[in-house]
Structure 1
Amino acid sequence: MSTITRICFARHGETDWNAERRMQGHIDTPLNSHGQAQAQRLAQSLQHAGHTFNHLYSSDLQRAADTAKQVSHALGLSITIDPIFRERHVGVLQGLRLDDAPHAVPEVWQAHLARDIQHDLGGGESIQAFHERAQRALAMLVAAHQGQTILVVSHGGTLDMMYRIASKQALDQARVAVVPNTSLNWIAYDGKTWSVERWADTDHLSTLALDNVDL
Structure 2
Amino acid sequence: MTPKTRIHLIRHGEVERQCYNGHYDVGLTPRGVEQYHGLKPRLEPGRITALYTSDLTRTRRGGEILGAYLGVAPVALPELRELNCGAWEGLTLSEVQKQRPEEWAARLADVVNFRAPGGESLTDLAGRVLPVLSDLVEKHRGEEVLVVAHGGVNRIVLLDAIGAPLSSMFAIDQKYCALNIVDYYADGNRVVQLING
TM-score bracket for the superposition, by shorter chain length: over 0.9
- Residue 133 of structure 1: how far off its partner (Å): 1.2
Could you tell me which residue of structure 1 aligns to residue 78 of structure 2? 83
Matches within 5 A, 1:111-150: 111-150=106-145
CA distance in 2, matches of 1:127, 1:45: 33
Secondary structure of the 2:176 match is coil
- Residue 50 of structure 1: how far off its partner (Å): 5.2
Given that 2:180 and 2:194 are in contact with CA atoms closer than 8 Å, whether structure 1 keeps it comes out as: yes
CA distance in 2, matches of 1:50, 1:140: 23
The list of structure 1 runs, each at least 4 consecutive aligned residues, that deviate by more than 3 angstroms after superposition, is none
Q: Residue 31 of structure 2: which of 34, 45, 48 is its match?
A: 34
- Residue 143 of structure 1: how far off its partner (Å): 2.2
Deviations 1:120-139 (A, max 9, x none): 21110111111111211221
Q: Structure 2: 5+ residue runs without aligned partners?
A: none
CA distance in 1, matches of 2:110, 2:49: 36
Could you tell me which residue of structure 1 aligns to residue 41 of structure 2? 45
- Residue 2 of structure 1: how far off its partner (Å): 5.8
Deviations 1:155-197 (A, max 9, x none): 0111111111011111123521111111110112112133311
Could you tell me which residue of structure 2 aligns to residue 204 of structure 1? none
CA distance in 2, matches of 1:151, 1:2: 21
Instruction: Supply the RMSD in Å over aligned alpha carbons.
Output: 1.7
TM-score (normalizing by structure 2) = 0.92
Q: Residue 170 of structure 1: which of 165, 169, 179 is its match?
A: 165
Could you tell me which residue of structure 1 aligns to residue 15 of structure 2? 15
Secondary structure of the 1:7 match is strand
CA distance in 1, matches of 2:110, 2:65: 35
Given that 2:86 and 2:117 are in contact with CA atoms closer than 8 Å, whether structure 1 keeps it comes out as: yes
Given that 1:115 and 1:127 are in contact with CA atoms closer than 8 Å, whether structure 2 keeps it comes out as: no
Secondary structure of the 2:34 match is helix
CA distance in 2, matches of 1:130, 1:56: 21
Given that 2:45 and 2:69 are in contact with CA atoms closer than 8 Å, whether structure 1 keeps it comes out as: no
Question: What number of residue pairs does the alignment pair up?
Answer: 196
Secondary structure of the 2:148 match is strand
Q: Which amino acid is 1:136 matched to?
A: P
Say whether residues 1:195 and 2:191 are aligned partners: yes
CA distance in 2, matches of 1:155, 1:115: 22
Q: Structure 1: 5+ residue runs without aligned partners?
A: 202-215
Deviations 1:109-154 (A, max 9, x none): 2233334433321110111111111211221112211121110000
Secondary structure of the 1:54 match is strand
Say whether residues 1:99 and 2:94 are aligned partners: yes
CA distance in 2, matches of 1:176, 1:51: 34
- Residue 28 of structure 1: how far off its partner (Å): 0.2
CA distance in 2, matches of 1:37, 1:116: 33
Secondary structure of the 2:168 match is coil
CA distance in 1, matches of 2:23, 2:123: 17
TM-score (normalizing by structure 1) = 0.85
